[in-house]
């Protein structure tokens, strides 16, 4: 008990200091021009996917308009988006990659 009576030892309640970081989805958007093989390469190169998973994600984006590449902390997600956008621009493809808070 934390009463103010004489002789009572007051122990402050503590909370575990560990808190979950905000997490962000990195998404690829479909377009009519970026080659399917290029998108598969992006998923293998920047998101460490094998050929089969990369192909599944690419086809999901192709058919549904948007798809998830992964979920990351803010800094990592931002880095992925920049890497993908720079690589697509370098190859003159209109591929769009975005992040959103989960
Ligand atoms: N729709 C593109 C095509 O038919 C392929 C594509 C898939 C493009 C996924 C972008 O994020 C994308 N060549």
Regarding the beta carbon of 28 and ligand 1, being less than 6 Å apart is answered: yes
Residues 28-66 have pLDDT tens digits of 999 999 999 999 999 999 999 999 999 999 999 999 999
- Phi, psi at 8, each rounded to 5°: -85, 125
Whether the CB of 31 sits within 6 Å of ligand 1 = yes
Say how many C-beta atoms besides its own lie within 10 A of residue 62's C-beta: 15
Tell me how many degrees the CA angle 70-88-102 measures, rounded to the nearest 5.
25
The first and second tokens of residue 74, run together, are 């803010």
| Beta carbon of 36 within 6 Å of any ligand 1 atom | yes
**Residue with CA closest to ligand 1 atom 10:** 30
For residue 84 and ligand 1, the question of a CB distance below 6 A is answered with no
Question: Model ipTM?
Answer: 0.99
Q: What is the reported pTM?
A: 0.86
Strand partners, 29: 66, 96
**Band of the pLDDT at 17, cuts 50, 70, 90?**
confident
pLDDT average, residue stretch 83-97: 98
Question: Hunting for tokens 């575990």 — which residue is that?
Answer: 16
Q: Which residue's alpha carbon is nearest to atom 2 within ligand 1?
A: 32
User: Does 4 score more than 50 pLDDT?
Assistant: no
């Amino acid at each position: 008990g934390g009463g103010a009576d004489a002789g009572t030892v007051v122990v402050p309640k503590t909370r575990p200091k560990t808190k979950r970081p905000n997490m962000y989805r990195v998404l690829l958007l479909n377009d009519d021009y970026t080659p399917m093989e290029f998108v598969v390469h992006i998923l293998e190169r920047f998101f460490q996917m094998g050929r089969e998973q990369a192909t599944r994600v690419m086809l999901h984006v192709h058919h549904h308009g948007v798809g998830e590449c992964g979920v990351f902390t803010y800094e990592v997600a931002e880095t992925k988006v920049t890497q993908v956008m720079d690589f697509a621009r370098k190859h003159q493809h209109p591929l769009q990659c975005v992040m959103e808070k989960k």
